[in-house]
Amino acid sequence: MEENMFAPVTGTVTPRYAGLATLMRLPHIGLKDENIPDVDIGLIGVPWDGGTTNRPGARHGPRQVRDISTMVRNVNRSSGIKPFEICNCADLGDTPVNPVDLIDSMNRITAFYDAVCKADIAPLSVGGDHLVTLPILRALAKDGPVGMVHFDAHTDTWNRYFGDNLYTHGTPFRRAIEEGLLDPKRTIQIGIRGALYNDSENDWGERQGIRVIDMDEFRSMGVDAVIQEARRVVGNGRTYVTFDVDALDPVYAPGTGTPEIGGLTTIEAQHMIRGLRGLNLIGGDVVEVSPPFDPTGNTALVAATLMFEILCVLAANISKQKRR
């Protein structure tokens, strides 16, 4: 391993606002780059919001997160994990997308992740709206359904919208279960809240076996118990982490398409992600960052920091597996 090559640019030499923006100041290595075989974890942007039913803009998420992620540093103070030392990390750039064709976009995204998987790179992505997780899972779960820790205000297991439309950012996990990509019995949803369309809208998911922890239950359980429950649900199997920033209270993440008041704090989110250490994590994403709806840019800062937290627990697992 060439440590220098994959080390982030340091802020004590090059100021954090200077230079081209890559995710966490990592080297940009395209899928056809000769150094791809050395990459362990690939940070990837998915600049697409074609599944958005209300306020668009998440297509601009990856670029703004790249910009602000240059403020990330190297060592996790809480856990001591040094992701850039234990794994070779790189910014793989953005996936191809088609802003005017939903199905074509999903196919392009899956093709990109197929190549990532083939190169044995664990992906950590930034969306894009939440529908992007479906084409990602189509690549990652080729060999069988995965478990998932899902942070969100919404279950995203609705069925159809606007008549007969199967694919929106409200439906990816229903489709993922139907397609055999996601094991509902190894899936936990945390942060669910907000009014319902109707009484029974959550029944389908729970009937499949999804463990739903809404904000009321979250408040009564406390962060530590939720972590234990998440660990129990996903067990030792391959597990994906998906974090919709609307899981957070909108004061932390106003720049998102479907904000709901009464959500998680960032401290809670950080603690919960740290609590996933030791799980068999294979990848993750942070989605629904919509820059046009946040003039302060704080949403992107939150997303970049949570990506770093996921990266730490992901790197701990990838590093362990590589060492075997």
Write out the two tokens for 166: 């199967």
CB of 38 or CB of 217, closer to its own copies: 217
Q: Determine if residue 154 is labeled as part of a ligand binding site.
A: yes
Contact call for residue 100 and its own copies (CB under 8 A): yes
Query: Can you name the residues that pair with 124 across neighbouring β-strands?
Result: 43, 284
Q: What is the DSSP string of 215-240?
A: HHHHHHH-HHHHHHHHHHHHTTS-EE
**Binding-site size, its own copies (CB under 8 A):** 96
Which of the residues 43 through 62 are near its own copies (CB under 8 A)? 45, 47, 49-57, 59-60, 62
Among 33, 82, 229, 277, binds its own copies (CB under 8 A): 82
Q: Determine if residue 183 is labeled as part of a ligand binding site.
A: no
Q: Determine if residue 156 is labeled as part of a ligand binding site.
A: yes
Among 1, 5, 17, 222, binds its own copies (CB under 8 A): 17
Q: Determine if residue 130 is labeled as part of a ligand binding site.
A: yes
Contact call for residue 91 and its own copies (CB under 8 A): yes
Which of the residues 175 through 194 are near its own copies (CB under 8 A)? 193-194
CB of 72 or CB of 121, closer to its own copies: 72
CB of 154 or CB of 231, closer to its own copies: 154
Write out the two tokens for 16: 């954090």
Contact call for residue 16 and its own copies (CB under 8 A): yes
Handedness of CA 135, 139, 144, 148 (dihedral sign): negative
Q: Determine if residue 244 is labeled as part of a ligand binding site.
A: yes
> Could you give the angle at the alpha carbon of 31 between the alpha carbons of 26 and 36, nearest 5°?
65
- Nearest one of 233, 303, 219, 323 to 275, comparing CA atoms: 233
Contact call for residue 267 and its own copies (CB under 8 A): yes
Pairing between β-strand 122-127 and β-strand 281-287 as defined by DSSP bridges:
parallel
C-alpha distances out from residue 43 to 55, 178, 305, Å = 26, 28, 13
Binding-residue pattern over the window 225 to 264 for its own copies, x denoting contact by CB under 8 A = ------------------------xxxx-x---xxxxx--
Stretch binding its own copies (CB under 8 A), from 32-40, 140-148, 215-223, 315-323 = 215-223
Among 29, 72, 310, 316, binds its own copies (CB under 8 A): 72
Pairing between β-strand 211-214 and β-strand 239-244 as defined by DSSP bridges:
unpaired
C-alpha distances out from residue 303 to 4, 62, 183, Å = 26, 10, 26
Q: What is the DSSP string of 250-287?
A: TTT--SSSS--SS-B-HHHHHHHHHTTTTS-EEEEEEE
Q: Binding site for Mn(2+): what residues are annotated?
A: 130, 152, 154, 156, 244, 246
Q: Binding site: what residues are annotated?
A: 130, 152, 154, 156, 244, 246
